Amino acid sequence: MRTETEHTIYLKDYAPSPYRIVSVDLDFRIGEEATRVRAQLTVEPRPETAPGTPLVLDGEELSLSSIAIDGAPLMLSAYAAGPQGLTIVEPPLRRFVLETEVSLQPEGNTKLMGLYRSNGVWCTQCEPEGFRRITYYLDRPDALATFKVTMTAPLALAPVLLANGNLVAKGDAGDGRHFAVWEDPFPKPAYLFALVAGDLGSITDSFTTASGRKVDLAIYCEHGKEDQCDWAMDSLKRSMAWDERRFGREYDLDMFNIVAVSDFNFGAMENKGLNIFNDRLVFAKPETATDANYAGIERVIAHEYFHNWTGNRITCRDWFQLCLKEGLTVYRDQEFSSDERSRAVQRIHDVQNLRSAQFPEDGGPLAHAPRPDQYREINNFYTTTVYEKGAEIVRMLATLLGEADFRKGMDLYFERHDGEATTIEAFLTVFADATGVDLEQFKTWYLQAGTPQVTVKDAYDAASQTYTLTISQKTEPTPGQPTKSPLVIPIKFGLIGPNGSPMGWNAVTGGSVRDDMIVLDQESVTLTFSGVANKPVPSLFRGFSAPVQVHSDLTQEDNLFLARHDSDPFNRWEALQDVSTALMVDAARGKAWGNAAIEALRSALAETLANDSLDDAFKAQALTIPDESLIARAIGSDVDPERVHAVRSELIRAVFAPIASTLEAAYHGLTSTVPYAPDTAQSGRRSLRNRLLSLLVQSSDGGAALAAKQYGEATNMTDRLAALAVIGAQWTPEAPALLADFRTRFAGDPLVFDKWLTVSASAHDDGVIERMRAILADPSFPRNNPNRLRSLVGTFVMGNPVQFTRADGAGFRFVTEFVTDVDTRNPQVAARVLTGFRIWPLLEPKRREAARSALTALQAAGSLSRNSADILTRMLA
């Protein structure tokens, strides 16, 4: 295969650079034919650096126009400037200033890395390796320097000039141009650099920190969207207060700016003092944003803000340690959302996400350790394993140590490593040092890929009143890791007696049990509980205390018992999920379900719906039938997604059709006329009502009409989109007209257009691929905007398994053709879409072959970006 140079980077090769950049002075001239960047780097050799050691700086797509050291231009023989960077052959063996000038073309930058132009606004994205597209530099996270940035731009095109840190000067630059100077006193790696220049509106506010410092806050956006930024500002202030309360962390600059841009490869970026956001994670108003959008904005605003301590003040030594900042920061944003909203519902939500995104990654061809030890393309490691499994590892640490000791460790982390670029080892060491707990074996979680399979067997002996639990773990091989070692698995648990109350015991032998936690750290353990008066039902992994897949011999009756009696809300929810999953797996394997089983599930669900002590959001989750990817995973091999889809639809009809009138009455009972607010109570109510609507559409004749009515009468986007989505997915006769109405009703709002694209890509009918081709072929389709592309094709690969994995291969071919096209313009978007193929080894032979042939054709067609080639190579390995 012809690819951009094959190269693999190994963790074992890590070595610090022989030179240190102490400070950086950048000067940008923006808005001329090309953008010119003058950089003055104050460089010094490390004490151990040998004379004659070249200084090698990274660079990409730069054109060098001048170069000097301490003011003296360099002879041609003194340096080499190539496509990969700049080498100074023999730099002085003392502190010196290297001055370069390069020119850039932000207008033609469709990769959206480095300096680019989005909707007329100049902006940057430097993580992980974008800064080298701005100037020659040591573009690695362990190179920390202070930055001073001067920008000059035409006042008319860019009245707003922003960079990291504090604004120290601004003024007129003549010729209709103006300038601004920003200084960031905190040494930082280049990936946290940011600059924005454009004609932007803004909203402002302020926050006074615990120690009484006033911080000026601003959110910048396209003119006319200011009224959609209030929720983001509110979320920011709550995040700042929370980090002080929960982790004792204060903000450290005089200003904190957020900018919303329309073209952005990811969600958002934590640049020091200048967070840049994908505008879909800033803008919200009730008519166009859903409750899920509001929650997402709150979460990501918090996430990026929390990076100021976990990521910026303490950063990563190298990109292998990405999980150090990301896993920890996701843990922190999950905790924030739990404290701000409902803890149980948040946990269920986070686990659903882990299971539907991370487990498939961990069990497929792209599996990798949270801290990998090699990569070809670091952009492909911004994965759900690094983020979400990384957060689960931090959560287990907190569970094992207990809240107070975990906080002690975090305090020590902030104290010991502030201002450093550090490692996972250093992170674990602070907890060991703060608590005396040995975390050597625990570290394996970071180094080992794959979801551990935990098997539980139990037995009760009435004569001796003993109860035994045998728990064993096994992790299947993953690419590059044929053998696995046992992990430290915290199992929060309880035993429940026949009357539904918690049961105690006198003593436990055979393993480590501390209060309500079993710690499994061997391959297998048999625990014997004595003094157990009756046969208990065990409730294990309460709150999902470890990211594992559990196989137990609990019967459907046991699970229904847990669904009624467990004091742990997560496990009550889990028990219901297990009951329906087991039924669907049986049916997919050809084993029909009995009436009794369906009736038992139905009455448990109806009971949940009627239970006044449960909140609406929880009920909505309990009434959710596991999604198709989960069922596929439970089946495990030779999966036929069409069959899975059919079985799931049949189960929904079998369970809910007989109680349609109850569901409908509950649906009407939840109707509300109070003005929209995105709060927990209201959004919980809407989620339950919309869940009922979805079940009614799928199980009763009148459902589609009810949904069409809700669509027409809705006063907020949550209700309107919920109705449209279920009709669109089922592709009922109402679908085309409603989709057409939706498109014209919100014409001109790109974020609502994304919703239209999402619904369009989710339809289960055979016409969906042709319709998507027509959408992409429309000359007015914004073919370079990541949000538009992902809403359509990303949704299709991840959310429409029936059509994506069609046996005739049409879904696979549609996606590989898309990847071939987009890869030339934006390799990150292309590579991410391509990861949707990771399910292919699980499919039944015909579909598996169709997928393999689409992938090999893509490979044979040749020149792909390094991003896509890396994914493809691993996918086919």
In sign, the C-alpha dihedral spanning 577, 578, 579, 581 is: positive
270 binds ligand 0A1 (CB under 6 A): yes
Answer for which of 267, 296, 479, 497 binds ligand 0A1 (CB under 6 A) is 267
**Of the candidates 17, 109, 235, 265, which one interacts with ligand 0A1 according to CB under 6 A?**
265
Long-range contacts of the stretch 110-117 (C-beta < 8 A, 24+): 110/784, 110/825, 110/826, 111/825, 111/826, 111/827, 111/828, 112/263, 112/264, 112/265, 112/786, 112/826, 112/828, 113/265, 113/828, 114/60, 114/61, 115/35, 115/195, 116/263
Residue 734 tokens read as 């109402």
Q: Segment near Zn ion (CB under 5 A), from 239-247, 321-329, 591-599, 647-655?
A: 321-329
Q: Should residue 125 be labelled a site residue for ligand 0A1 when binding is judged by CB under 6 A?
A: yes
What is the spatial distance between Cα 205 and Cα 399, in angstroms, rounded to a whole number?
Answer: 37
Question: Does residue 33 have an active-site annotation?
Answer: no
Q: How far is the CB of 307 from ligand 0A1 (least distance, A)?
A: 7
Sites for ligand 0A1 among residues 821-840 (CB under 6 A): 828
Nearest approach, Cβ of residue 706 and Zn ion (Å): 41
Q: Which is nearer to ligand 0A1, 86 or 830 (CB)?
A: 830
| Least distance to Zn ion, CB of residue 754, Å | 22
User: Could you tell me which stretch among 176-184, 266-274, 654-662, 809-817 binds ligand 0A1 (CB under 6 A)?
Assistant: 266-274
The contact mask relative to ligand 0A1 for 126-165 (x = CB under 6 A, - = no) is: -x--------------------------------------
Phi, psi of 550 (to 5 degrees): -100, 135
Candidates 718, 645, 733; CA nearest to 687 is 718
**Helix 660-669 crosses helix 595-610 at what angle (to 10 degrees)?**
10
Residue 54 binding ligand 0A1, by CB under 6 A:
no
CB of 327 to ligand 0A1, least distance (A): 10
Q: Of residues 622-661, which lie at the interface with ligand 0A1 (CB under 6 A)?
A: none
- Specify whether the CB–CB gap between 848 and 876 falls below 8 A: no
Cβ-based burial of 744 (10 A; exposed 0-12, middle 13-18, buried ≥19): exposed
* 3-state DSSP of 713-767: HCCCHHHHHHHHHHHHHHCCCCHHHHHHHHHHHCCCCHHHHHHHHHHHHHCCCCC
Measured CA to CA, the distance from residue 834 to residue 566 in angstroms comes to 41
Stretch that binds Zn ion, among 320-328, 360-368, 610-618, 861-869 (CB under 5 A): 320-328
Nearest CB to Zn ion, comparing residues 330 and 727: 330
CA angle 596, 598, 601 (to 5 degrees): 110
Q: Which residues contact 646 (CB under 8 A, 6 or more apart)?
A: none
Minimum Å distance from CB 304 to ligand 0A1? 6
**Residue 263 engages ligand 0A1 in binding (rule: CB under 6 A):** no
Side chain identity at residue 593, one-letter code: W
- What's the min distance (Å) between Cβ of 656 and Zn ion? 39
Report, in Å, the least distance between residue 322 CB and Zn ion: 9
Q: Which residues 6+ apart lie within 8 Å of 13 measured at CB?
A: none
Is residue 185 helix, strand or coil?
Answer: strand
**Partner touching 386 among ligand 0A1, Zn ion, none, CB below 5 to 8 Å by kind:** none
Judged by CB under 6 A, which of 260, 268, 513, 601 binds ligand 0A1?
268
Q: Report how far residue 302's alpha carbon sits from residue 226's, in angstroms, rounded to the nearest whole number.
A: 20
Q: Looking at 264-272, 414-422, 457-465, 516-524, which segment touches ligand 0A1 (CB under 6 A)?
A: 264-272
| Cβ 775 vs Cβ 767: under 8 Å | no
- 388, 402 Cβ separation under 8 angstroms: no
Q: Given the rule CB under 5 A, which of 102-110, 200-208, 218-226, 319-327 is the region that contacts Zn ion?
A: 319-327
- Give the number of residues in contact with Zn ion, rule: CB under 5 A: 2
Q: Are 107 and 176 in contact (CB under 8 A)?
A: no
Stretch that binds ligand 0A1, among 19-27, 261-269, 508-516, 856-864 (CB under 6 A): 261-269
Name the nearest CA neighbour of 389 among 487, 304, 280.
487
Element (H, E) at 178: strand 177-188
Interface residue with ligand 0A1, options 382, 414, 460, 781 (CB under 6 A):
382
Instruction: List the x/- string, 647-666, binding to Zn ion by CB under 5 A.
Output: --------------------
Which residue in 60, 127, 270, 304 is the catalytic one? 304
531, interface contact from Zn ion, ligand 0A1, none, CB < 5-8 Å by kind = none
- Residue sitting closest to ligand 0A1 (CB): 266
E strands, 105-144, are 114-118, 121-125
Give the contact letters, 318-347, x = binds to ligand 0A1 (CB under 6 A), - = no: --------x---------------------
Q: Which of 104, 102, 52, 49 is nearest to 78 (CA)?
A: 52
Single out the residue of 266, 442, 711, 742 in contact with ligand 0A1 (rule: CB under 6 A). 266
Stretch that binds ligand 0A1, among 3-11, 267-275, 341-349, 677-685 (CB under 6 A): 267-275
> Of these partners, ligand 0A1, Zn ion, none, which one is at the site of residue 718 (CB under 5 to 8 Å by kind)?
none
Question: ∠ CA 737-789-221 to the nearest 5 degrees?
Answer: 95
Beta strands (DSSP E) in 434-566 are 453-461, 466-474, 489-496, 502-503, 507-509, 512-514, 517-520, 524-530, 537-540, 549-552
CA distance 138 to 119: 30
Q: Site residues for Zn ion, window 324-353 (CB under 5 A)?
A: 326, 329
Shortest Å distance, C-beta 545 to ligand 0A1: 25
- How many other CB atoms are found less than 10 A from the CB of residue 206? 12
Burial of 822 (0-12, 13-18, 19+ CB in 10 A): buried
Smallest distance, ligand 0A1 to C-beta of residue 277, A = 9
Residue closer to ligand 0A1, measured from CB, 382 or 781: 382
For ligand 0A1, which is the closer residue by CB, 258 or 620? 258
* Residue closer to ligand 0A1, measured from CB, 321 or 687: 321
**Shortest distance in whole angstroms from residue 383 CB to ligand 0A1:** 11
Whether the CB-CB separation of 539 and 495 falls below 8 Å is answered with yes
Q: Which residues bind ligand 0A1 (CB under 6 A)?
A: 125, 127, 265-270, 303-304, 326, 382, 828
**For binding to Zn ion (CB under 5 A), which residues are involved?**
326, 329
Active-site positions read 304
